[in-house]
Structure 1
């Protein structure tokens, strides 16, 4: 199953992004089989990130929750909230490069 995960960051914890970015990217890279797409969200291209969006392939919601709870950004308190939604992809056979 596919899930969309939207994170909102704490504005008071911006230092965590700078301090743990390398660890976060390494963590994501080690989980590319499950985390199909990941990236920060901003109001405008040059703004500071306010959160992130991931598309995850997992057997169920519990697997998704167990996954993001080990992310360095979560472990070091940067995330304020997490929203997990099941995603029904239109044209499931279509492969899209992003």
Structure 2
């Protein structure tokens, strides 16, 4: 198993769609807590949600891509882009 970081950046006009899909998104994350090691919204300077950061444990990148594709925020057209990177913990609570 490996860790991956998903950096998800919202479209400029996505806040209403994000709000509408939030309950489904949170349920989707909740159903995968054995794989989701950390998750939360990225915030603007004003404190509005503007994206998501997720650390996900998976066998390979294809599994992470499938997870991202199934996110209700994807179906709600919230994200402008999603960047996925392999990640290695060297310090902190997950180390």
- Per the TM superposition, whether the score is higher than 0.5 is yes
Deviates more, 1:71-80 or 1:11-20: 11-20
**Against the structure 1 CA distance between its residues 85 and 24, is the aligned structure 2 distance closer, same or farther, given a 3 Å change threshold?**
same
| TM-score (ref. length: structure 2) | 0.89
Partner of residue 53, structure 1:
53
Question: Secondary structure of 1:33's partner?
Answer: coil
Partner of residue 29, structure 1:
30
Question: Secondary structure of 1:86's partner?
Answer: strand
Q: What displacement does 1:43 show?
A: 3.6
Question: Secondary structure of 1:12's partner?
Answer: coil
Q: May I ask how many residue pairs the two structures share in their alignment?
A: 93
Distance 1:84 1:22 in 2: 23
Question: Secondary structure of 1:50's partner?
Answer: strand
Question: Secondary structure of 1:20's partner?
Answer: helix
Distance 1:41 1:20 in 2: 16
Q: Structure 2: which 5+ residue stretches go unaligned?
A: none
Q: What displacement does 1:82 show?
A: 0.6
Q: Structure 1: which 5+ residue stretches go unaligned?
A: none
Q: Where do 4+ consecutive residues of structure 1 move more than 6 Å? A: none
Partner of residue 74, structure 1:
74
Higher strand fraction (1 or 2): 2
Q: What displacement does 1:61 show?
A: 0.6
Question: Superposition RMSD on alpha carbons, in Å?
Answer: 1.5
Q: Does 1:88 align with 2:53?
A: no
